[in-house]
Amino acid sequence: MNRQKLSIIGMPMDLGQMRRGVDMGPSAIRYAGVNERLKCLFEEIHDQGDIAIGRPEVQIDPTSNLRNLDLIAEKTEKLAEEVDKAIEAGSFPLVLGGDHSIAIGTLAGVSKHYKNLGVIWYDAHGDLNTAETSPSGNIHGMPLAVSIGIGHPLLTNVGGYAPKVKPENIVIIGARSLDEGERELIKEKGIKVYTMHEIDRLGMTKVMDETITYLKERNADGVHLSLDLDGLDPHDAPGVGTPVIGGISYRESHLAMEMLAEAQIITSAEFVEVNPILDDKNKTATVAVALMGSLFGEKLL
């Protein structure tokens, strides 16, 4: 983890789903004090501001039935460029979402810099749907499938190459809501998943130890953390668009971030799905910022 320079990139995009408000996620996270919280952990922090999304009309692709397909491809391409530039400048890219479809762009910008990228997907959902398996046509349920090269070519080819990550280099943590097509794809591709059952049974310490070991054994030369705030229980993170009860606790999440900081394997990160309209006094954004502090090595003593 590059502890010298941090680039914060806002991606205020809500095109991947139907609930408005997640486009204000980057602003909510900044309001919760992300720059102030992290300034003592890096020599330099560059807040790049937000990528311009605008207020486009909702579009349904007539062939695939995907919502805002062309727009998401266009906007995630811009995000990929910004993430690429940050890494080229020797900076750690931290992307603030926005719905989880932004991960298409983040991973496109990150993966080109690594031969064998690993991904930790901290989420209640698998995000492994395709146009054929998605119940809704919402692309925020597809970014992980897209990143392993499965999905509409406009999405899989963001950044000009595919795939971005090998299925065997992915670890999903916190899953508790999977569609049938996602379950089949997980089994077919051998994707490693820690559901809430495993977290409850093994404990977060064991889950993170195994995750870190697993990625090291696969010789991952970089590891991207994609953290969806709905991975946490709605009691701790109420301001998300698709809450699922029975999730990871606030303290378990801090432990997970602390263990990643100690392992020093994370080379890029994004925090997504903060929706202040659905939140309680900006609680979810505040949780996101606190978890960022733990991820980047903040200590009590």
- 142: which DSSP letter? -
Q: What is the dihedral of CA 265, 45, 113, 88, to 10 degrees?
A: -150
Helices then strands, counting H and E runs in the chain, come out as 11, 8
DSSP 8-state code for residue 58: P
Tokens 């090291």 correspond to what residue? 216
280 is in an annotated binding site: no
For residue 193, the surrounding DSSP H or E stretch is strand 192-195
Residue 11 phi/psi, 5-degree rounding, is -130, 85
Q: Which residues are catalytic?
A: 100, 123, 125, 127, 140, 228, 230, 273
23 has binding-site annotation: no
Furthest-apart CA pair in the chain: how many Å?
57
Let me know: does 291 contact 236? Beta carbons within 8 Å.
Answer: no
Token couple for 217: 């054994």
Q: Is 209 annotated as a binding residue?
A: no
Q: How far is CA 97 from CA 27, 131, 136, 159, in A?
A: 9, 23, 21, 19
- Is 100 among the annotated ligand-binding positions? yes
Residue 92 DSSP SS3:
strand
152 is in an annotated binding site: no
Residue-level length of the chain: 301
Nearest to 28 by CA among 257, 250, 269, 238: 238
| 235 marked ligand binding residue | no
Q: Structure tokens of 242?
A: 């698709």
Q: Could you tell me which residues are annotated as the binding site for Mn(2+)?
A: 100, 123, 125, 127, 228, 230
Q: Could you tell me which residues are annotated as the binding site?
A: 100, 123, 125, 127, 228, 230
